[in-house]
C-alpha cells in the first residue's frame, strides 16, 4: 500500500488565518512589540516557511533599533526563539480549544487509508507540538497515534527545498514511487515534487492563486458527504476524474502515475 504524507497547515486544517495569525498577534502584544499583522500582511508572511523564519523577517535594522534588539546574533536568535515558543503555546491552546476545524475529508480519508493498511505521515515546517495538536484535533488521538510526524527544525532547509520530504522517505524506508503527498501551497508542492513525489493539492484560503502546474491533481478540498462539501476540481492534467469526494481509489491512481517533473526552486 502507498504511504500517504500530509502537510499540516492548510491541509489538515485551515490554520493560518484562524490559528497562526491570532497567535502571532497575541505574542506581539505580550512581548510589547509594535506590530500587528493584518490578514493581508499575513498573506505575504505565509510565503515564508517556518514560524521562527516569519518572526525573523520582522527584524529589520529599523525594527531592531526601535525595540532595542541586541546586535549579537546569538542573543538575537535566542530572543526570536523565545517569541516563537510563546507563539507555539498560544497556537496550541487555540487548536485544542477547537477554534480551527479540520478541513473537509481529512478524517474520512485517514480512516479509510488506515483501514486499508496505508502508511500515514505528516511532513511540515511548523513546530512539532503545533503539528501534533492539529493532527490530534483533525483525526482524533487513536488515528493520530498511527502517524509518523516529521516537523519543525528536523531538517536545516525548509520548504520549498525538498529536505523534509527526503527525510520522511528515508525514515519511512520507502522510495518516492511508494508515496503520495497532499499539499496546499506552492512552496510545499515544490518541496514534494523536487523530492520526486506525486502531489495532490487541496487549495486553502491563502494559496488558491499560487502556481500548481506541477501537481498531479488540484482540488478545492478532499470533500466530505458530512457536512456535504463536494470536491471541486481545479486542475486534472492526468484525467484522474474524481467524483464528488476524493477517494483512496483516486489517490491510488495518482500514485500509479509516472514521477512528476519538479518545478524550479526559486
Give the model's pLDDT for residue 261: 61
Q: CA dist 146 to 117, 118, 132, 140, 172, Å?
A: 11, 10, 12, 11, 13
Structural contact between residues 207 and 108, judged by C-beta atoms closer than 8 angstroms: no
14 catalytic? Reply is no
Q: What SS3 class is residue 240?
A: coil
Rg (CA), the chain: 18
Distance CA 107, CA 229 (A): 14
Q: Which is the catalytic residue, given 9, 107, 184, 224?
A: 9
Q: CA dist 55 to 58, 170, 264, Å?
A: 6, 30, 26
DSSP code at position 19: I
**Per-residue pLDDT tens over the stretch 21-62:** 999 999 999 999 999 999 999 999 998 988 999 999 999 888
What number of residues does the chain have?
266
Structural contact between residues 44 and 38, judged by C-beta atoms closer than 8 angstroms: no
DSSP code at position 253: H
Distance CA 266, CA 263 (A): 9
Question: In which residue ranges of the chain is pLDDT below 70?
Answer: 259, 261-266
Q: Which residues contact 135 (CB under 8 A, 6 or more apart)?
A: 8, 12, 122, 144, 147, 149
7 catalytic? Reply is yes
> How many other β-carbons are positioned within 10 Å of the β-carbon of residue 173?
9
Report which of 175, 180, 84, 80 is spatially closest to residue 125, judged by C-alpha positions. 84
Structural contact between residues 176 and 50, judged by C-beta atoms closer than 8 angstroms: no
Query: What is the number of alpha carbons within 13 Å of residue 39 lying toward its C-beta?
Result: 5
Q: Which is the catalytic residue, given 7, 14, 224, 250?
A: 7
Give the model's pLDDT for residue 262: 63
Distance CA 193, CA 261 (A): 7
Give the model's pLDDT for residue 266: 42
Give the model's pLDDT for residue 265: 43
Distance CA 8, CA 182 (A): 9
Amino acid at each position: 500500500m502507498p504511504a500517504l504524507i500530509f502537510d499540516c497547515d492548510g491541509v489538515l486544517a485551515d490554520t493560518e488565518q484562524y490559528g497562526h495569525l491570532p497567535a502571532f498577534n497575541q505574542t506581539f502584544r505580550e512581548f510589547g512589540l509594535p506590530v500587528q499583522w493584518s490578514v493581508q500582511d499575513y498573506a505575504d508572511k505565509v510565503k515564508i516557511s517556518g514560524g521562527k523564519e516569519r518572526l525573523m523577517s520582522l527584524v529589520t535594522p529599523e525594527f531592531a533599533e526601535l525595540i532595542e534588539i541586541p546586535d549579537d546574533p546569538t542573543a538575537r536568535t535566542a530572543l526570536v526563539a523565545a517569541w516563537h515558543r510563546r507563539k507555539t503555546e498560544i497556537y496550541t491552546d487555540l487548536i485544542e480549544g477547537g477554534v480551527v476545524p479540520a478541513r473537509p475529508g481529512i478524517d474520512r480519508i485517514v480512516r479509510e487509508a488506515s483501514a486499508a493498511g496505508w502508511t500515514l505521515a505528516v511532513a511540515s515546517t511548523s513546530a512539532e507540538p503545533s503539528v501534533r495538536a492539529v493532527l490530534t484535533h483533525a483525526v482524533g488521538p487513536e488515528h493520530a497515534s498511527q502517524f509518523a510526524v516529521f516537523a519543525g527544525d528536523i531538517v536545516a532547509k525548509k520548504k520549498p527545498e525538498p529536505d523534509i520530504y527526503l527525510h520522511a522517505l528515508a525514515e519511512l524506508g520507502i522510495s518516492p514511487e511508494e508515496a503520495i503527498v497532499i499539499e496546499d501551497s506552492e512552496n510545499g508542492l515544490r518541496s514534494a515534487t523536487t523530492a520526486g513525489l506525486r502531489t495532490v493539492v487541496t487549495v486553502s484560503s491563502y494559496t488558491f492563486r499560487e502556481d500548481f502546474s506541477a501537481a498531479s491533481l488540484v482540488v478545492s478540498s478532499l470533500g466530505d458527504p458530512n457536512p456535504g462539501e463536494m470536491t471541486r476540481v481545479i486542475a486534472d492534467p492526468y484525467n484522474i476524474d474524481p467524483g464528488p469526494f476524493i477517494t483512496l481509489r483516486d489517490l491510488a491512481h495518482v500514485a500509479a502515475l509516472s514521477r512528476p517533473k519538479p518545478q524550479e526552486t526559486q
